[in-house]
Amino acid sequence: MNKENIYKFWVAVSFILLVVFAIQIGIDYSRYNRALNSAPFSAFLLMRGMEFVLPSLLVFLAGMFCKNKFKKENRKEK
């Protein structure tokens, strides 16, 4: 993979994590039963957010950092 395009990989991974988050929330919602669960559904949202959204944000920021870094390096070379 080209060094200058590695940020596209990180952005794609970030997007995939967000899609998995949405799918997992849908699965949790379909299985959630207010009578059987002592925790509110918002607790499930918070837990899934920490599992998927937070890492997605970090990966996205890493991708943008790499993009800016390589863009600056290319400017210096020219």
Domain ranges of the chain: 3-77
CB 67, CB 7: distance < 8 Å: yes
Residues 25-64 pLDDT 10s: 999 999 998 888 888 999 999 999 999 999 999 999 999 9
Mean pLDDT of the chain: 90
DSSP 14-78: HHHHHHHHHHHHHHHHHH--TTT-SS-HHHHHHHHIIIIIHHHHHHHHHHHHHHHHHHHHHHHH-
Spatial CA neighbour of 9 closest among 74, 78, 72, 70: 70
- pTM of the predicted model as reported, rounded to 2 decimal places: 0.82
- Three-class SS state of 12: helix
Residue 78 has pLDDT above 70, yes or no: no
